[in-house]
Amino acid sequence: MTELHPSTPTAPSRRTTLRAAAGGTLLLGLGLTGCRSAVAEAEAPATGAAGPKRGGTLTVAVNTDFTPALLFAQSGQSLQHRLIYNTLTRYDDRLEPRPELATSWEYAPDGRALTLKLRTGVVFHDGRPFTADDVVFAVKNLQNPVRAAQLRSTAAAVTGFEKRGDHELTLRLAHPVNNLFDLFEFMIITDRNSVEDAVAGKRLNGTGPFRLASWRPGTGLSLTRNEKYWQPDRPHLDGVELRVIPQADALVSSLRTGQSQLSYAVPGRNLSTVTAVPELSVTQYDTGGGASYLGVNTSVDPLGDKTVRQALAWAVDRERVLSQVLGGYGLASATPWPKSSPAFTEAGRTHYRHDPGKARELLRSAGHTRLDLPLLHVNLPGETALAEAVQYDLKQIGVHVTLEPTDAATAQKRLISQTMPALWAMGHSFSQVQPSTLAVSAYPFNAAKNTSRFRSETYSRTVREAWTSRATGAEANALRQRVTDTLLDEAFIIDLVIRGSVQVASKKLHGATLNKFSYLNLDDAYLAA
Amino acid sequence: MTSTLPAPAATGEKAARRPRHPYLTALATARGRTGLALVGLVVLAGLLAPLLAGHPPTDQSGLTLAPVGTPGHPLGTDDLGRDLLSRLLYGIRADLGIIAAAVPLGAALGCLLALAAAAHPAADTAVQRLFDLILAFPGLILALAVTAALGPGRLPVVLVIALAEIPVFGRLLRTGILAQRGREYVTAARVGGSSGRRILTRHVLPNAADPLVVQIAVSLTVAVFLEGAMSFLGVGVRPPEPTLGAVLSQSMPHLAQAPHFAAGPLVTVTALVLGLSLVAEALNREIRR
């Protein structure tokens, strides 16, 4: 399943060789678990005889269009973010930050300030130089409730800015937080003078490797190479086309026929079709894809009783969901954490197994033998299959579910506005970065205000401790474990399967990677002859 | 005295000379018989679904995409391990239920509006504009709009099909009424003192109804397509209840490795549509003779 793609053009330096060796070791380890890393792929040494080729236009097939109004939130489609913009840092596979527009950083001893040194010689697409003021604006922009950024709580922890020249900035924090680099991975640096044009989709001015040529709603984005990009001799590609193909079968056909060369939107059920195509490679990452879950509205009787919620958690056959609904691409898990997360434990993953007998017993102990509940799901084929599988499993314990197929936009709106019915089946993200980010940012898990309307002093306190602690090692693990234990015990979000990102690409394409928030990085990508 | 008894042959001759109803004549043709056989086969399969299906149509199992001929699953299973024969038979049942309710409803409403239009010029203008309004929305756009307002389920599908059929039947009957109204027998009835309503319902309507019978067969065909398209797009009957369109939609990701998944609903829809089309064509030919 794992394949190496050549990506580095020059003869390997000592540092590159060391990185390659480290990357190779990591790949070996991940390969054993059936997964691989996007960053490792980017840093794998070039093994092709020809090396990178300059030129060509890459067509990326996406299933949803760019939504400019959600530029600073977490939309369903964020591939273009790192193509047009840059972030301050990017994570490697061990969640260690690497330089992007910030070249170095240093925490104050008390953890209440962080000093960033910024890259010089970076200009926006319109030629204006990038300075510390742009970082100040980017943080304040995410603090603005209008932007609906899910990492707003982390941005709001930044309460002061101290500039030293144009390329050094100290961020003052209201309290220590351990997910500041999640914010830097998430936060795109936009031109402060044209941000309103950006959220209207009229003008996207960033420092990224590609400039926006045109956006045709419903059709896609056209991007051309930024000749003033700060990385020398990058990007290799002349341009990128993001083509919207909502129908999964049509999207697969576009890949098979070579009309598009890259996609991260092929559903697991369709992957068996592309694995047989010799011109395409399928690569699974264990991060970035989010997780499928069953949400429970605790304000609907009798779901306020955690015994009933736990009964639901025991009733679902996660392994069957994984194999039948997701084509085997993913990891059946009762917790939200992928294997790469520091919060992942095997005990947590298998905490709830498929045990209808135990589920029925719990339901009876809560005083119920039959329940009739509605379940909302998005009316796409994969989401419908997931809902049908859950419906059948719940029926076996006496919970009769009526499915409510809903369009994706309405489902998202109801998720944010906390107006979900008793049950819903959807996907969540944010578990692939620092564990605290999930509990302070993601709509389903947010301790302050979540879709399940679950309120608990214990959960809020546990989350806050995990978020603000600067502890490392065993102490940090203990804090994360407390969050996991609370999530498992309260079962207001019942995780089913961790979905990795699955990349389907032409074998001619090399060097494409994703960051932790599924921003596509094509700095080093090229199309071989 | 000898009496002459009528020869038995003479009675038979008289019976043979009795004019046969043109619809029966149409259905007795090879085209009509083939059409009836195909439709009858599908209808029978739907009606006997509880007897023929070995499993409930929504029961899942771990047997994913089992091939044709698997013991206990003659047509195999779908991606969630459900018996495909059972889903096909119950899908036919669901489809037939929907089109049997929707097409007559659309036809009745369309005919009522056409009769109202024939009664008064002002009503005629109003009805014509109403038909224009409905026709302005293509079937699937209408389906999406109705489903957005009412949510998924059987009722929205029935409503969409009925709405789509109203102007078809309405315009057809209106044209027939306009053609018949100029005939001598209508003038004779008017001279004879019949009221306008009586002339319309007792004289004009029976003579303008022939094309409607053909249209019903054609509309049933369209209804099969419309229901299938709505279920295929995920705005039809609420899952997990099977319909032919829904089963076909579910089969799409698996066409490469399990083509049998799509074969059942495809063959059934083809047989149903072909059968109805043949019946419509046979009726049309006989009526036009």
> Which of A324, A379, A402 is nearest residue B64 as measured by Cβ atoms?
A324
**pLDDT 10s digits, B173-224:** 999 999 998 899 999 998 988 888 889 888 888 888 888 988 998 899 889 8
B-chain residues within 8 Å CB-CB of A248?
Answer: 252-253
Residue B251: closest C-alpha in chain A? A381
Domain for residue B68, yes or no? no
CA nearest neighbour of A356 among A393, A329, A404: A393
Q: For residue B11, name the pLDDT band (cuts at 50, 70, 90).
A: low
Mutate to test the interface with B, among A255, A266, A271, A272 (most CBs of B within 10 A): A272
pLDDT less than 70: residues of chain A: 1-50, 75-76, 286-289
Looking at A435-516, which runs of residues are DSSP E strands? 493-498, 502-506, 509-510, 513-514
- Is the ipTM higher than 0.90? The answer is no
Residue B76: predicted pLDDT: 95
* Helix extents (H) in chain B: 8-17, 22-28, 30-47, 49-52, 84-119, 121-135, 139-150, 154-181, 184-191, 196-198, 205-208, 210-232, 244-251, 260-288
CATH number, domain with residue B143: 1.10.3720.10
Taking residues B143-158, report their average pLDDT: 87
Q: Domains along chain A? A: 286-500 (3.10.105.10)
How many Cα atoms sit within 13 Å of A58 on the Cβ side?
Answer: 32
Does the beta-carbon distance from A392 to B254 stay under 8 Å? no
At residue A466, φ and ψ (nearest 5 deg) are -65, -30
Domain for residue B36, yes or no? no
Tokens of A63: 């299933």
Residue predicted with more confidence, A106 or B252: A106
Residue A381: closest C-alpha in chain B? B250
Residue A19: predicted pLDDT: 54
Does the beta-carbon distance from B60 to A392 stay under 8 Å? yes
CA nearest neighbour of A289 among A240, A327, A260: A327
Pairing status of strand A291-296 against strand A331-332: unpaired
Domain for residue B22, yes or no? no
Domain for residue B143, yes or no? yes
Q: For residue B12, name the pLDDT band (cuts at 50, 70, 90).
A: low
What's the domain count of chain B? 1
Hey, which of A491-495, B1-5, B13-17, B279-283 has the most confident mean pLDDT?
A: A491-495
Domain for residue B226, yes or no? yes
Residue A8: predicted pLDDT: 35
CA nearest neighbour of A267 among A330, A337, A349: A330
Domain that holds residue B146: 91-239+273-287
Domain for residue B126, yes or no? yes
**pLDDT 10s digits, B214-240:** 899 889 988 988 888 888 777 888 899
A-chain residues within 8 Å CB-CB of B255?
Answer: 273
Residue A45: predicted pLDDT: 44
Domain for residue B228, yes or no? yes
- Distance in angstroms (rounded) separating the CA atoms of residues B90 and B103: 20
Residue A508: predicted pLDDT: 95
**pLDDT 10s digits, B48-82:** 999 999 899 999 999 999 999 999 999 999 999 99
Does the beta-carbon distance from B58 to A403 stay under 8 Å? no
At residue B90, φ and ψ (nearest 5 deg) are -70, -25
CA nearest neighbour of A229 among A212, A199, A207: A207
**d(CA A492, nearest CA chain B) in Å:** 25
Residue A29: predicted pLDDT: 41
A-chain residues within 8 Å CB-CB of B59?
Answer: 392
Taking residues B27-37, report their average pLDDT: 94
Residue B230: closest C-alpha in chain A? A379
Res. B158: pLDDT tops 90: yes
Does the beta-carbon distance from A405 to B58 stay under 8 Å? no
Residue A44: predicted pLDDT: 47
Res. B258: pLDDT tops 80: yes
- Tell whether A274 lies on the interface with B, counting CB pairs under 8 A: no
- Distance in angstroms (rounded) separating the CA atoms of residues A185 and A92: 11
Percent pLDDT > 90 in chain B is: 55
Domain for residue B103, yes or no? yes
